[in-house]
Amino acid sequence: MAPGARVDRFEIFFDLVFVFSFFIITRATALNVSGASLLHALLVLAVLWWAWVVHSVVATRIRLGEGFVPVLMTVGMAALFTFALALPQAFQDPRHNAAGPMVAAVSYIVIRLVHLALYLHAVRDSPNERRQLWHFGPELIASTLMFLAAALVPARIADAGTAALVRDLLWTAVVLVQYSTGMIAGTWGWGVTSAEHWTERYDLILIIALGESVISVGVGSNLIGQPPTWPAVTAAVLGIFFTAALWWAHYDMVGPAARIALHAAKDGPRVAMARDAYAYLYLPMIAGIILFALGAEGIVHQIADPHVPVSLAAKHPHVPLLFGGVICYFCANMLFQLRTLRTVSWTRVATVLVLVAAIPMAAAVPALAALALLTAICVGLVVAEVVVFADSRRALHKLIFEEKTSHEAHEAGWRARWHERDEGE
- Model pLDDT for residues 368-413, shown as the tens digit of each residue: 999 999 999 999 999 999 999 999 999 999 998 988 888 778 878 8
Q: Are 236 and 372 in contact (CB under 8 A)?
A: no
- Do the beta carbons of residue 326 and residue 292 sit within 8 Å? yes
Q: Indicate if the pLDDT at residue 320 is higher than 90.
A: yes
pLDDT at 88: 78
Query: What secondary structure letter does DSSP report for 274?
Result: I
Q: At what angle do helices 35-59 and 195-221 cross, to 10 degrees?
A: 150
Q: Please state the rounded mean pLDDT for residues 215-244.
A: 79
Residue 91 phi/psi, 5-degree rounding, is -120, 20
Confidence of residue 220 (pLDDT cuts 50, 70, 90): low
Contact 310, 378 (CB under 8 A): no
Q: Given a cut of 70, is residue 2 above it in pLDDT? A: no
% of the chain with per-residue pLDDT over 90: 32
Between the two ends of the chain, the Cα-to-Cα distance in Å is 34
Give me the phi and psi of 194, to 5 degrees please.
Answer: -115, 105
Q: Compute the Cα dihedral for 192, 330, 176, 102 and give only its sign.
A: negative
Secondary structure class of 313 (helix, strand, coil): strand
What's the pTM?
0.89
Beta bridge partners of 313: 366
How far apart, in whole angstroms, are the C-alpha atoms of residue 270 and residue 283? 19
Give me the amino acid identity at 12: I
